Structure 1
Amino acid sequence: MRQYKQLATRAILAGAVALGGEAALAAQVVVGQVAPLSGLEAAQGRAYAAGMQLYFNQLNKGGGVNGHTFALVKRDDNGRPEDTVGHTRALLAEDKPMVLAGYFGSRNIAEVLAAGLLEKEHIALVGYRTTELRAQNPQLFNVRATLRDELQKLTEHLATIGITRLGLYYEDGPGAKALLEAVDEAAGKARATIAHKAAYPAGTARAKQAVDLFIKNPPQAILLVASGAAAAAFIEQYRSAGGAAQLFAHSGADIEQLAKRLSEEQMQGVAIAQVTPNPYKISTRIGKEFNDILARSPAPDVPVSYSMIEGFITAKVIAEAVRRQGARPTREGMQNALDAMESYDAGGYLVGFRPNQHNGSRFVELSIVSGAGRIRQ
């Protein structure tokens, strides 16, 4: 009998140690974001963060993923590339994130890569927005369609309505050459021509020179591959100067930011490529999930937007990569899990990565602003 009790006691102790070991393995997954939380692109940066936080809060209420909860640590770079690098370096040293997410800006990301921070720290950056085409990088994972996909969608749509004489307004950043080549390629496939191209200085919203060019040489339509602030400045000045060409913007222009700054008359007929499902509708599973969680949560400090649902999708992808690692998620494990995520269904929105293929989606649709200032697909 005594021997039986001793064996039983040992079994209980062993179980307690095992449970304690599992509890010890459960930890907080820190997600680091360095983004424009103030400045020209603050609306998008803050909305992206709000979308990630919305999903992480929901997970944490249910105990997290494999017992791991999530914490989003944010730092404001005000859109300045040098601050993006400095804050990223400090965040990596002080907050020890397992993954980075929600970065903005072509030059900002280019300088983070040039500084070697991602490679040195073996850390992935999941979800980002730029106004250029980026070469594949082992540490960069995007959850949206590429700019090339957006350009093809825009030029194909224009071709179907007989518009073939186009203008291009774009950011004169480090990826401008690749962008111009992609625009020419997309236009060629649609049997269109880019009659005039006008750049604005990277990191600014100085549009006057481009406006003057397109007023003097009017195309049928103008493609805007610009930040939200730069696109808004162009539309405002172009319409005020009497410009009548149809305007088609890539997703980075942010339809909510445009609608907030511009009048209904200035916005009428503007079309914007969108790379996520509509956040205002529940016609998709992810749209319903997003809105259901919103309804159960405290009101966010920013309006609902496409940037917000993109952040929500990014958080889902990160959580899935953590889930696939089991009890011991790591920085290296995040990258391996993402590389193996060939077809993840985030709710009717598919995200897929493979080694050397880190553009996660091909989803693109057009939003058009009606005469009443409302968004319609």
Structure 2
Amino acid sequence: MNVQAQGNVIVVGQAIDLSGPNGSIGRDYVAGITTYFDSINVSGGIGGKRIKYLVRDDQGNPAISAQAVSDLLEKDKADYLLGGIGAAVTDAVLANARFSQSGQTLFAPLVASVKTYNSRVLFWRPSPEQEMQYIFSYFDKLGIKSVGIAYQENALNQDMYQYVVAELRKRNMLMSGLVRIGASAADMERESAVLARSNPGIVIAIADTLGTGIFLKEFRKQAPRTFVAGMSLINLDTLAEVAGPKALEWTVFSQVVPNPLSKKSLIQIDHSNMMKKFRDEDLSALTFEGFMVAKTLVKAIQAGKGGRDGLQALATQKSIIDLGGVTLTPSESTRRMSNYVDMALFRKGGGLLF
């Protein structure tokens, strides 16, 4: 962590999808991060050092991502690294020799699959299991006892599927049907019809954005007014494109940040003001997450005096970190900074209602 070597800059590098399947998630995340760094640089940087934030578009491709991170370390001499989107990309970066040798921590990747990582990764957001847990308790409180599952079968979703089935049992809920996303169109149509007839209180989608879209498009023909729940890394713009905006009515999504449009806390106000000042683009849950991730990283850089890795210092600290009305309780065992989960309902005419 030789910040001195760079003279008056601290280099933060990130390889993330800006133009691939999760491009709009990546672009929002980066917009929030950039905005916070801009606000710090304008007021003199960190101890007089400016943050130089270098973002490389990995298009969601693991090989490109690993190479980009390698270059950021090798050529750009990155002092800190922020993560990309998805388990495949994260795995590729962790397996990269240059990253292994660097001794650095990959901070705040966006991963929606149930997976344990070693101490070289530090997550900002809570785990996918925590999000799923929140969806369950939310609907449990509403007295809903029958749950359908839309399941995109692949290695990444298998653990989450198992987790959901176990959770149903634990809560004495009834699994009222299963639609396998990615099965043939005829099978999906048939399974969707069967699920719709069983009239579940809610359907939980264990799928990526595209898979969720394909499911909604089919299922909504049969069940226009059944709640369908997804998780926070579902990309709503893409979802509306795939399924049609009408299909998004009666959908809910777990969220890992408070409402970005509300002005209840200092950090919400800050995010809103700084985005207006530096970006002039729409606020979203992901611009807000990026903003808070950057603020957390700045705290880590401040904590990392004297050659200590600030991220590791932050991850192991016992006290609560206040970002301005949103608090982090770092957990050494889960390697996660935040436990915040909320729920948002898709609004008629677009956007989320927290």
TM-score by length of 2: 0.87
Q: Note the C-alpha offset of 1:196.
A: 4.1
In 2, Cα distance between equivalents of 1:82 and 1:243 = 41
Letter in 2 for 1:247: V
- The alignment partner of 2:263 has SS state of coil
Partner residue in 2 for 1:145: 126
Residue 336 in structure 1 maps to residue 283 in structure 2:
no
Letter in 1 for 2:67: G
Residues 13-24 of structure 1 mapped to structure 2, 5 A cutoff: none
User: How many matched pairs?
Assistant: 349
- The alignment partner of 1:251 has SS state of coil
CA contact (8 A) 1:124 1:141 kept: yes
CA contact (8 A) 2:114 2:128 kept: yes
Partner residue of 1:310 out of 284, 289, 297: 289
CA contact (8 A) 1:144 1:362 kept: yes
Q: Note the C-alpha offset of 1:208.
A: 8.0
Which stretches in structure 1 are left out of the alignment for 5+ residues? 1-21
CA contact (8 A) 1:35 1:74 kept: yes
Letter in 2 for 1:305: S
CA contact (8 A) 1:167 1:197 kept: yes
Partner residue in 2 for 1:364: 341
Letter in 1 for 2:53: L
Q: Deviations over 1:207-259 (max 9, x none)?
A: 88656533333351211233333323332343246565320111111345445
Q: Deviations over 1:99-147 (max 9, x none)?
A: 2214101222123233455433211111122221121420111111211
- The alignment partner of 1:131 has SS state of coil
In 2, Cα distance between equivalents of 1:110 and 1:180 = 21
Partner residue of 1:319 out of 298, 302, 314: 298
Q: Note the C-alpha offset of 1:155.
A: 1.2
Letter in 1 for 2:192: F
CA contact (8 A) 1:344 1:351 kept: yes
Residue 348 in structure 1 maps to residue 325 in structure 2:
yes
In 2, Cα distance between equivalents of 1:207 and 1:200 = 9
Residues 1-377 of structure 1 mapped to structure 2, 5 A cutoff: 27-115=8-96, 118-198=99-179, 200=181, 210=188, 212-218=190-196, 220=200, 221-240=202-221, 244-259=225-240, 263-300=244-281, 303-326=282-305, 328=306, 332-340=309-317, 342-377=319-354
- The alignment partner of 1:128 has SS state of coil
Q: 1:69 to 1:38 in 2, by over 3 A?
A: same
Q: Deviations over 1:4-38 (max 9, x none)?
A: xxxxxxxxxxxxxxxxxx99885322111111111
CA contact (8 A) 1:128 1:142 kept: yes
In 2, Cα distance between equivalents of 1:241 and 1:90 = 50
Which has the larger displacement, 104-113 or 163-172?
163-172
In 1, Cα distance between equivalents of 2:287 and 2:186 = 30
Q: 1:212 to 1:252 in 2, by over 3 A?
A: farther
CA contact (8 A) 1:101 1:126 kept: yes
CA contact (8 A) 2:69 2:99 kept: no
**RMSD of aligned alpha carbons:** 2.9
Q: 1:23 to 1:222 in 2, by over 3 A?
A: closer
- The alignment partner of 1:167 has SS state of strand
Q: 1:95 to 1:25 in 2, by over 3 A?
A: closer
Which has the larger displacement, 45-54 or 167-176?
167-176
Q: 1:255 to 1:95 in 2, by over 3 A?
A: same
- Counting aligned pairs with the same residue, the percent is 21
Q: 1:24 to 1:272 in 2, by over 3 A?
A: closer
Q: Note the C-alpha offset of 1:180.
A: 2.4
In 2, Cα distance between equivalents of 1:106 and 1:24 = 33
CA contact (8 A) 1:118 1:139 kept: no
In 1, Cα distance between equivalents of 2:7 and 2:206 = 44
- The alignment partner of 1:129 has SS state of coil
CA contact (8 A) 1:324 1:337 kept: yes
Q: Note the C-alpha offset of 1:321.
A: 0.3
Which stretches in structure 2 are left out of the alignment for 5+ residues? none
CA contact (8 A) 2:263 2:269 kept: yes
